[in-house]
Structure 1
Amino acid sequence: MSTTATSSISRPSLTLLGTEPWRAAYEFVQHKISRKAPVPAGDGHPVIIFPGLATDGAAVAPLRDYCEALGYSAMDWGRGFNTGPQGDIDTWLAELADHVSGLLAGRSQRATLIGWSLGGIYARELGKLMAPRLRQVITIGTPFNGSPDHTHAGWLFRLLNGSAPVSDPALSLRLRTPPPLPTTSIYSRSDGVVAWQSCRHDQTGAQVCDVEVKGSHIGMGWNPAVLQVVAERLARPGPAAR
């Protein structure tokens, strides 16, 4: 997405933002009462789920439980509350990669990384650092192809870190470059937190795919349509075990 294209993107409307909690609650009820479409049983490969900004493992518990019920070895990132990267971004990501490598120690099957919102940025960047140990990356409502001006989360980042997220052209180019393995971005045009255009790749192909669903940003972790896409992606054959 070029600079010209990104300049035409705006934050979601305040109406969409204001109705997020109610729409997310409705999606949670749908998740609990709706009949799930049949999906293949999981093959037991590890799935690591990264929470969004200002959330922790509890926020992605419905998604983790769903993956576990399908037959995968699912876990959250295990680092508690997500306050955003601290200090030098490359050093921070290298430490996170070491942590995730520890979670995968002793496992022969390649892992899937799933990230919600900011957690999807982590999943994508770890996909570049740890590609030989992974089979795919799935992001949910992750604004990798835009700028901090395209979200309503800047104030929250500032509250948690004491400063606004920095818009760096070189970093923006890096973030929008997909990892060298199958990568799926799930997004919603009715997302009230991040601009849906920033969740799409400039180009898609055999390894890169964008999937649109209907729903809120907050409720994506239990949105039935999102869960269906995740289940389908997890069931696809991956590379041979390490």
Structure 2
Amino acid sequence: MTAPARAPKLPLYYTDIPRAVVEYGQLMTVLPLRRTLPVGDGHPVLVLPGLLAGDGSTWTLRRLLRRLGYRTHGWGLGRNIGPTAKAVAGMAERLDELHTRYDAPVSLIGWSLGGIFARALARRDPSAVRQVITLGSPFRLEDERHTHAGPSFKRYAHLHVEAPVLPVDLEAEPLGVPATSIYSPYDGMVAWQACLNLPSEQAENIAVLSSHIGYGHHPAAVWAIADRLAQPLGSWAPFRPPAVLRPLFPRPALKMA
């Protein structure tokens, strides 16, 4: 049973950016160890940014994954201001284009709001999606008060073609593809409880000690992403970190009641 959802406390919110800067420094410190990360098989990966962010925010993660052997791509739609007509149509076209270009299903990585979009894409066309990895994405948000991002999202609501309805009915059913949610109890932007997959044979939750803005470069999150992407197609199994890395993953996947 999880604790009741609530927006992160203000100390976490106000320190999220400084903590993200520290986490980036930690990644740079351990970067020489990237050769110990699982090597990729060359399949395509599409990375979707969070609210008010663009491809620049995912550049570090995409570059690292490219060096591991993946064909990584940004979403190419500028700043993410929510489900505008341009974003909704553009993401679907981007996924279709990559699926056709590589003749292979695409792994989707979505950061915060980008993860909600990634899950919607997987529901729309599961045959084009290899797996979905979300980073601090509140796809099971039940109350807008459980996130500090509400005002920023509402600022652009007049441009949105899809109005969110909480709770999201679709999330009562698991995705038809493997789904990994990477979340943090120290997330300064969204309630971590809203980021949890419901139990299923192809869904899991991985806890890290990251800030919200730091998910894309937090060392533990990067390791988990690389591990998940390296699984052979059709052979998904739950995450099991090496013994030496277990302290980086502070708690097991939480079970929902």
Moved more, 145-154 or 46-55: 145-154
Q: Which residue of 2 aligns with 1:72?
A: 70
Distance 2:110 2:228 in 1: 14
Q: Residues 111-150 of structure 1: CA distance to partner in whole angstroms, max 9, x if unpaired? A: 1000000000011110111211221110000001123221
Q: What SS class does the counterpart of residue 214 from structure 2 fall into? A: helix
Q: Residues 5-45 of structure 1: CA distance to partner in whole angstroms, max 9, x if unpaired? A: 89x42100000000011100000000111153612211110
Gaps of 5+ in 1: none
Q: Which residue of 2 aligns with 1:197?
A: 193
| Aligned pair partner of 1:135 in 130, 141, 145 | 130
Q: Which residue of 2 aligns with 1:168?
A: 165
C-alpha RMSD of matched pairs (Å): 2.5
Summarize the alignment of residues 19-168 of structure 1 with structure 2, pairs less than 5 Å apart: 19-34=15-30, 35-36=32-33, 38-86=36-84, 93=88, 96-146=91-141, 147-161=143-157, 168=165
Preserved CA contact (<8 Å) 1:23 1:216 = yes
Preserved CA contact (<8 Å) 2:184 2:207 = yes
What's the CA shift for 1:176? 5.1
Preserved CA contact (<8 Å) 1:137 1:183 = yes
Distance 1:163 1:98, change over 3 A: closer
Q: Which residue of 2 aligns with 1:222?
A: 217
Distance 2:153 2:170 in 1: 20
Q: Percent identity?
A: 38
TM, length-normalised to structure 2: 0.82
Paired residues, number:
231
Distance 1:182 1:73 in 2: 19
What's the CA shift for 1:59? 0.4
Distance 1:60 1:106 in 2: 22
Preserved CA contact (<8 Å) 2:95 2:106 = no
Q: Which residue of 1 aligns with 2:228?
A: 233
Preserved CA contact (<8 Å) 2:77 2:87 = no
| Aligned pair partner of 1:10 in 6, 22, 35 | 6
Distance 2:173 2:26 in 1: 34
AA aligned to 2:173 is: T
